[in-house]
Structure 1
Amino acid sequence: MSIKETMDSKGKIEELDPQKFHIIGYTQEEANRINRPTISYWQDAWRRLCKNPVAMASLFVLGLLVIMVIIGPHIRGYDFINMNVIEKNKGCSSKYWFGTDRLGRDLFSRVWVGARASMIIALVATTLKLFIGTFYGAAMAHFGGWVDDALMRIIEVINSLPSLLLTILIMMVLGNNLFSLLVALSITAWCNTARQTRGIIKQLKESEYIYAAYVLGASPFRIIVKHYIPNMLGILLLDASTAIPSFIFMEAGLSFLGIGLIPPEISLGVLIAQGQQSMDFYPTQLFFPCLVLCVIVMAFNLLGDGLRDALDPRLRK
């Protein structure tokens, strides 16, 4: 039966007159037009992230921190490396905003140099973690069989070793330098990313477009790069947002214990370790590095929580 046809009380079919029906409040053209624009997954995620004031405030704070680690050491124009014992252990003043350390160096400049080093270490370690873990997990899930079993056993062996003990051994063998610290931080961190990637790709592997890529003769590397990874960007982004503050804390902890970077290298962990030695008489030397460290870690954690909610497809409307 046509839309324009209906049955009367006697069971006869009669044709309805469209002129008898009117759309209240809209014209026919306005009623037929879809007003809501079609937006992509990433546009919708950004829209929902913008509606989260805590996440946007964290993003703003991180932007300011990035600017400060770039220009902060040069704002005051003081030498943050060479000693000036005449000005040692100065308090906060208009000349020295954060005071000076026990060797007379400007603490404001040194804090931002240390924050720069800590953030660079965290970003590089996170990049290594995601790169190694993603391709390792993709290889396990893509090839399957004995390859999956062999690679999974390697992960289990690595996870069975105490990560702190392994980090200490690496730093003892390679020395207290930036390269050995990156190796120590990344040596076990990629295992969780590999397991997560393996589980996601095992689900994606059954998709029709993956079969189409097989039929068209695409290589495994092309399938991983062109099909698997783009569909995991949201998960990898969340992994990165949680890994960065974790690496910053690990670097600070190792340097504080004397296992990570050591003077004359500058990082937040090194500054906290030096400030702890004189905290009884000059607490500002410990307070400001700790404050910057806490702000960086809190901003990353709050932004990660906002990204988790924004990238969750179950919350998409």
Structure 2
Amino acid sequence: MMAKDNTYKKENAFLVLAKRMSRNKNAMFGLTLFVILVLAIIIVPIVSPYQYDKMDVMAIKQGPSSAHLFGTDDLGRDIFTRVFYGGRYSLSISIAAVLFSTAIGTVVGAIAGYFGGAADTVIMRLLDVIQAIPSMLLTIIISAALGVGIDKTIIAIAVGTIPGNVRLLRGTVMQTRENQYLEAAEAIGCSTARRIMKYVIPNSWSPLIVSATMGVAKAILELAALSYIGLGVQPPTPEWGAMLAGARGFLRDYPYMLIFPGLFIAISVLCLNMFGDGLRDALDPKLKD
């Protein structure tokens, strides 16, 4: 009976969240546009008649046309195909970095917030040292130290956002740990690890979900910046930032080479921020139906 009640409560909470989200037109617009973008990123490279890395010396630097919707670059490669294929790298790397950062932030933040004392002091002082360095600068330093590579880029982007996730979850956990159901769980013999994983974290991570959603948008920008200065994804892989870097010498005469990759970066970031704002409002416990 208890299991059925818990299932009902979870489903009911999900329905309430979906209902609140549906009222937010900006959030739904952002989510819809982002889903369309993701589907296009998956489908377009498959159906495109061009390969993202195939060069055509007869089609070098051609403007947008019916044959090449976004034009071609300085090597005759189809920019339309490269933009959508590059979206796979931009989004997957950004999402992977945020998932890694969120996982580490969840564990460390839960430990700091639940136990407090010396563990909390040590963790927070270490975070103070890390956060004394600007996030983007820290990402560049780590990326330069680790070298190029997708896995190294994911780590570099993730490390800079871990402190914020730790602080965010720590504050929520410090409020959650005072609830009576934790005392009841302790009274019936639940281990500390079980209390944290089953009761503390699930009731504390709403702000972290919102932070992760907006964190993907930030990670897209950071990845583009790293690739632009030569520390992220390397050519000929068509990541959006790498495409901007390859086209910066042609801005005056062939601006379309930069416009389309930059436009897709802007659209992705805008959609995620709009959805994140709506998700934050929907998860706000102060809202009343």
TM-score (norm 2): 0.92
RMSD value, Cα: 1.6
Distance 1:260 1:76 in 2: 26
Give the paired residue count. Answer: 280
Residue equivalent to 2:189: 217
2:27 partner letter = A
Instruction: Tell me the alpha carbon deviations over residues 89-139 of structure 1, each in whole angstroms, 9 at most, x when there is no partner.
Output: 111111111111110111111001111111111101110111111110101
2:104 aligned residue (105, 115, 132): 132
How far apart are 1:221 and its partner, in Å?
Answer: 2.1
Q: Kindly indicate whether residue 265 of structure 2 is the aligned counterpart of residue 293 of structure 1.
A: yes
Unaligned runs of 5+ in 1: 1-37
TM-score (norm 1): 0.84
Greater alpha carbon shift after TM alignment, 264-273 vs 160-169: 160-169
Distance 1:255 1:80 in 2: 18
1:173 aligned residue (97, 122, 145): 145
Instruction: Tell me the alpha carbon deviations over residues 253-310 of structure 1, each in whole angstroms, 9 at most, x when there is no partner.
Output: 1211223222122211011112221121111111111111111110111111111111
Distance 1:245 1:171 in 2: 19
- Contact 1:86 1:104 survives alignment (8 Å): yes
Distance 2:164 2:135 in 1: 13
Residue equivalent to 1:73: 45
Q: Tell me, what secondary structure is at the counterpart of 1:142?
A: helix
- Contact 2:176 2:204 survives alignment (8 Å): no
- Contact 2:136 2:222 survives alignment (8 Å): no
Residue equivalent to 2:31: 59
Q: Kindly indicate whether residue 165 of structure 2 is the aligned counterpart of residue 193 of structure 1.
A: yes
Q: Kindly indicate whether residue 286 of structure 2 is the aligned counterpart of residue 314 of structure 1.
A: yes
Residue equivalent to 1:270: 242
Higher helix share: 2
Higher-Rg structure is 1
Distance 2:187 2:125 in 1: 31
Residue equivalent to 1:111: 83
Q: Larger RCO: Structure 1 or Structure 2 (Cα < 8 Å, ≥ 6 residues apart)? A: 2
Residue equivalent to 1:121: 93
Deviating runs (4+, > 4 A) in structure 1? none
Distance 1:274 1:143 in 2: 50
